[in-house]
Structure 1
Amino acid sequence: MELVADRLATVRERIRAVAARANRAAEEITLLAVSKRQSAEAIRAAYAAGQRAFAESYVQEAMEKQAQLCDLDITWHFIGRIQTNKTRQIARQFAWVHGLCDPEHARRLHEQRPPDQPPLAVCVQVNLSGEHSKGGLSPAALPDLLEVCARSARLRVRGLMTLPAPATTEEAQRAPFRSLRILRDHMATPERPLDCLSMGMSEDLEAAILEGSTLVRIGTAIFGPRPTSMSGPMRGQP
């Protein structure tokens, strides 16, 4: 598991280097370790190396890991597609949700968030390319969803998230991130600053940070290739 610590150090150095290029402080950028399909032992190794924020995409798998790792002070983010029959578990088990794009899901998360927990931090996913294979709503639909969230006291919209199509050059990678930043600037208000831009992964974190990302979602560069299957009770999750 020493390799996890080494990879984390490399990712942090990448963030520092590109933050300097962008005349930004590296501390402005949150590193979110995407741990789906990774073992609890790998998460412990990353935690031992100083990582505190982890992201999961499959509810049952995440809940099993949370039980195994309950002795650790982890902030859990949900980054998968939200299923209606999973909103109660998401509302109860996570501090953040990336990928909200349905008003009905927003209402359910609000209603099912326990009142003794802080409001659920939310990033709304925007589909800038119109790809049917990608989740997210269109920019035109964003104002309506933001209004639904504004009426939901147990949700706190922190910002926007996107998952663009792969690109091979830095400029091509930067274009959709720039579009999301411009959209955020247009939609932000003093009451709703949308201070989080959740964008950038292992292959394009530099482009995202150059365009203003405040949170990068990194899996492969930290944990290595994702296992194609899990042994034990987590096998077979969607």
Structure 2
Amino acid sequence: MKLITYNLYNIWNQMTVMAEKCGRNPQNITLLAVSKNHSITAIKEAVSVGQYSFGENYAQEGVEKIKILDNPLLSWHFIGRVQSNKSRLVSEYFDWCHTVSCFRIAQLLNKYRSCDQKPINVLIQINISYEETKAGILLEDLPELVRKISYFPRLKLRGLMAIPKESKNNNSSLMEYQRLEKAFNQLKDDYPDVDTLSLGMSGDINDAIICGSTMLRIGTSIFGKRHQSDRELHLPGQ
């Protein structure tokens, strides 16, 4: 069995076991394979065993992969910081944007999304750990941004995303996750399309599932570490 295939089966199994322990349906949790800086060959192996959702951090790199693979079964998620000058690429080519954290970016995504396309699915990024160096809004600012996004016809608000602070204190991390879960549940009560909590990476899969995550963003544990010699795409400016 190839390494990526082996890794995917292990993660799917971990997700299933943990979800069932929590009384959750594993089918309600999506595995988002973070494929940034990984080759087309690696992505094709993942697709061959049933992995269809992929996350990219860089707009140009992601668009190149979307064009090359040209597979309508795949769902492409932009999970990096949206730069104003790359917002058109994100809006035109990606199915999801996880990192909306201000009115201006929401406005640009709505502007560039074609009327011929389905609305782009968006998540609001929350700075759950109050870190100055991390993108995202504070929870107390969430209602105002949600209200503004709701007026954009080419955006479909699906939920929240966060990248919690790395901590050796598991109780502290769980408290942050629980605060986000509470905000997510409140948002679901008010907005019927909200169904996605993007929380959890390779090192915190179990905690994220316990706290209601519906989408896990996993990269290295699937694809391994990226080596420059493996690079298949030459993408200027990335």
Per the normalisation by structure 2, the TM-score is: 0.94
- 1:142-195 CA-partner distances (Å, limit 9, x unpaired): 111111110001101000010011123543432211110111223333434522
The equivalent of 2:235 in structure 1 is 234
Tell me the C-alpha RMSD between the 2 structures.
1.7
Change (3 A) 1:225 1:172: farther
Q: Which residue of 2 aligns with 1:7?
A: 7
Residues 107, 148 of structure 1: 8 Å contact kept: no
Tell me the SS of whatever aligns to 2:137. coil
Identity %: 37
Q: Which residue of 1 aligns with 2:91?
A: 91
Change beyond 3 A, Cα 1:210–1:49: same
Cα separation, 1, equivalents of 2:72 and 2:188? 35
Q: Measured at CA, do residues 140 and 177 of structure 1 come closer, stay the same or move farther in structure 2, by a change above 3 Å?
A: same
Q: Kindly tell me: are residues 56 and 232 of structure 1, through their superposed partners in 2, closer, same or farther at Cα, counting changes over 3 Å?
A: closer
Aligned length: 237
What is residue 57 of structure 1 aligned with on the other side? 57
Task: Please tell me whether residue 149 in structure 1 is matched to residue 146 in structure 2.
Answer: no
CA distance in 1, matches of 2:58, 2:178: 29
Q: How does 1:45-124 map to 2 (within 5 A)?
A: 45-71=45-71, 73-124=73-124
SS in 2 for 1:131: coil
Match of 1:166 in 2: 166
Post-superposition Cα deviations, 1:24-83, rounded to whole Å, max 9, x if no partner, equal 111010010000010010000000011000000101111111122114621100000000
Kept in 2, the 8 Å contact 1:76–1:95? The answer is: yes
Query: Given that residues 39 and 233 in structure 2 are in contact (C-alpha distance below 8 angstroms), is that contact kept between their aligned partners in structure 1?
Result: no
Q: Is the 8 A contact 2:177 2:208 kept in 1?
A: yes
| Counterpart in the other structure of 1:182 | 182
- The 1-side partners of 2:123 and 2:25 are apart by 22
Between the aligned partners of 2:101 and 2:15, the Cα distance in structure 1 is 28
Shift of 1:228: 5.8
Q: Which secondary structure does the structure 1 equivalent of 2:118 belong to?
A: coil
Give the aligned residue type for 2:178. R
What TM-score do the two structures reach when normalised by structure 1? Answer: 0.94
**Cα distance, 1:17 vs structure 2:** 1.0
Which has the higher mean CA deviation after the structures are superposed, 223-232 or 79-88? 223-232
> Which range moved further: 177-186 or 53-62?
177-186
Which residues of structure 1 form unaligned runs of 5+? none
| Matches of 2:148 and 2:187, distance apart in 1 | 14
Shift of residue 130, structure 1, vs aligned partner:
1.3
